[in-house]
Amino acid sequence: MTSRPQPTRTRKLPGERRAEIVRTAADIALEEGLERITLRRVADELGVRPGLIGHYFPAADNLVSEAFSHAAAKERESLLPDDERELPADMRLARFLVRLTDGEYRDLSRLWLNARHISRFRTGLRTAVRTQESETRTALADLVEEGRCTGHFTTDDALGAALHILVTVDGLGAYANDDTQVDHPVLEDMAIATAERLLGLARGALRSRA
């Protein structure tokens, strides 16, 4: 009786394996919530033993924090991509806001709600949330300041404008889990209208620039 040949497994470099684990955990978080991230669940998704996941992340809370950070950073990169840095500030801001309101980021809105809630009880996640909030806030404030310097925006307080815009976005995101939300155009354009008012732009200017 001949034995069946076993499939050859390719051993991944530690950095590659760790990044794969974080990406997989981030996908689970986006689809089902941060609470669903466990060493066993990630192992099952990757077809490996839980001990391998535990080798890189002895504590599941550390993996949860990194998974959230990965998803939030990818969100920021897709909203303000590097390959658009040469575009005028008003066009970049317009694309940022339209992307946020076109429905594709609903899972990420749910993830932010999820993370902010359970970060009350998890120190590592709380730090990750604050870090990602700070980086997004800084990126948006820098964009507004750039627009002010180039004459696209009239605000004298770039950080204040960025905070106001982000709080409006977060307020809209608070309804991400509500499938019975009132369907009204004002909700779609609320963050855009807020930005236009704060930055001295005509109504509809940002959406037309997007």
Q: What is the CATH number of the domain that holds 108?
A: 1.10.357.10
Question: Which residue, among 101, 119, 110, has the nearest Cα to 29 in the 3D structure?
Answer: 110
Give a yes or no: residue 20 inside a domain: no
Distances (CA, A) of 168 to 17, 23, 67, 84, 104: 38, 29, 25, 24, 18
Q: How many domains does the chain have?
A: 1
Q: What pLDDT is stored for residue 177 in this prediction?
A: 65
- Below-50 pLDDT ranges, the chain: 1-8
Give a yes or no: residue 62 inside a domain: no
Give a yes or no: residue 55 inside a domain: no
Give a yes or no: residue 10 inside a domain: no
Give a yes or no: residue 134 inside a domain: yes
Q: What pLDDT is stored for residue 87 in this prediction?
A: 96
- Supply the mean pLDDT for the chain: 89
Q: What pLDDT is stored for residue 182 in this prediction?
A: 60
Q: What pLDDT is stored for residue 29 in this prediction?
A: 95
Give a yes or no: residue 29 inside a domain: no
- Strand segments, DSSP code E, in 57-153 are none
Give a yes or no: residue 203 inside a domain: yes
Domain that holds residue 193: 72-209
Give a yes or no: residue 39 inside a domain: no
Q: What pLDDT is stored for residue 3 in this prediction?
A: 47
Q: What pLDDT is stored for residue 30 in this prediction?
A: 92
Q: What pLDDT is stored for residue 180 in this prediction?
A: 57
Distances (CA, A) of 116 to 9, 119, 124, 128: 39, 5, 12, 10
* pLDDT tens-digit map of 8-66: 456 789 999 999 999 999 999 999 999 999 999 999 999 999 999 999 999 999 999 99
- Which amino acid is present at 125? L
CB 158 within 8 A of CB 145: yes
Q: What pLDDT is stored for residue 174 in this prediction?
A: 78
Q: What pLDDT is stored for residue 179 in this prediction?
A: 61
